Structures are given as structure tokens and as C-alpha cells.
Structure 1
Amino acid sequence: MTAIEQYLIDTYRASQHGVPMPPPPGRDDVAVVRAVRSYEQFQAVLDGGEARHPWRAALRRMLTRPHPC
């Protein structure tokens, strides 16, 4: 059963029992990714490092590592 099918079943049950509808699947995915990134930056600062911007770090890795062709 997919997440969408389970969501539809849960929505139907919620409407039958008069309880609040469940959140749609994937609604909080971006917030979770941001929270993980912020936590990693926070841990880097606590460990004595620098809270680097993730896009800059990814770009630096892409430009400095040899590309397997």
C-alpha cells in the first residue's frame, strides 16, 4: 500500500469518526531537512568548527573532486 492510499483510508476514517484529518504525506519534508541542516551546523559550532553554508560546501566538493568520466 502506498502512502497516498493509506492517507486516503485515514482521511475516510477521520471523516467517519469526526476527528481531525491527518496531514498529507510529505507536507513536513522540507521542514525536516531544514531542521537537520540547522542541527548539523549547530553541532559544528559546538565542536569548534564553522557553520558553513551547505550550498557552498557542495559546490566546493563538486569543483575540487575529479569527476569520473
Structure 2
Amino acid sequence: MDAIQQHMIDSYRAAQRWEAPPPPPGRHDGSVLRAIRDHWRRTRPARPARPARPGGSGPSGA
């Protein structure tokens, strides 16, 4: 059973009980992913600074 079929069943059950239907699948995906990203950014340990490369500031072309 996929998400759409489950949503249809849940909507039918809600209608039988005179309740509000559930939100459609995927409606809150963006906000959930943003919340996970923000939580991860707040709780991860800080990265140590990278040491400078010997011999210059970038990759050598020759």
C-alpha cells in the first residue's frame, strides 16, 4: 500500500467519525527536512580549522 492509498483510507475513516481529514502526504516534507537540517547544524560538534597547505594557497598547475 502506498501513501496515497493510506491517505484515502484515513480520510474515509475520518469522514465516518465526523473528524477532520489528515493532511495530504508530502505536504510537510519541506518543513520537516528544514527542521532536521537546523537541528543537525545546532547539535553537531564544531569542525576543527584546516591547516594551511604547504607551498601556497591553491593547487599547483604545473
Richer in helix (by share): 1
TM-score range, shorter chain: 0.5 to 0.7
* % identical aligned pairs: 45
**Higher Cα radius of gyration:** 2
The two structures, once aligned, show a CA RMSD in angstroms of 1.4
* Runs of 5+ unmatched residues, structure 1: 51-69
Determine which structure has greater relative contact order: mean sequence separation of CA pairs < 8 Å that are 6+ residues apart, divided by chain length: 2
- List 4+ stretches of structure 1 deviating above 4 A: none
TM-score, with structure 1 as normaliser: 0.59
1:23 CA displacement: 1.3
For the residues of structure 2 that align with 1:36 and 1:9, how far apart are their CA atoms?
Answer: 29
Q: Number of paired residues?
A: 47
Question: How far did residue 9 of structure 1 move?
Answer: 1.2
Residue number in structure 2 paired with 1:6? 6
Q: Secondary structure at the match of 1:30?
A: helix
